[in-house]
Amino acid sequence: MEMLCLAEGTFDEVTSRKSLFAIYENQKQMTGMIFDEDGISDFKKEAKKHKKPIVVYVFSYDHTYNEEDFEDMDNLKVVKPIPEVILNVYRKIYKELYNLRNL
């Protein structure tokens, strides 16, 4: 989350449901991160409460998402998959933590 916040310059937490989604903001825009497709509906309800433009990052194993899921969001700026380089960092951290637990 921190790397995406840094990339978008949005550091103030609006809301976070760690396993489903998170929303951060600055004075001009918001950044949404969806970690589980089951959280899209709740994410949209929360995002629609705000008027600032929002950039949405979606976690996907195959780097795809359904753009139609976000068509009803008036403040949507753009939807993007979470960048592969960030996913690789998460994979490396998870792998290292998993290996440490199995010592």
pLDDT tens digits, residue range 44-72?
999 999 999 999 999 877 767 788 899 99
Residue 19 or 42, more confident: 42
Q: Tokens standing for 71?
A: 């068509």
* Per-residue confidence (pLDDT) for residue 25, from 0 to 100: 97
pLDDT for 2: 84
- Residue pair 80/56 in contact (Cβ under 8 Å)? The answer is yes
Q: Please state the domain count of the chain.
A: 1
Confidence grade of residue 11 (pLDDT, cut at 50, 70, 90): very high
pTM of the model: 0.79
Helix or strand run (H / E) with residue 86 = helix 84-101
Distance, CA of 75 to CA of 90 (rounded, Å):
29
Q: Which domain holds residue 81?
A: 2-101
Sheet holding 30-34, edge to edge: 12-17, 21-25, 30-34, 54-58, 76-81
Contact 63, 46 (CB under 8 A): no
Name the nearest CA neighbour of 81 among 41, 34, 45.
34
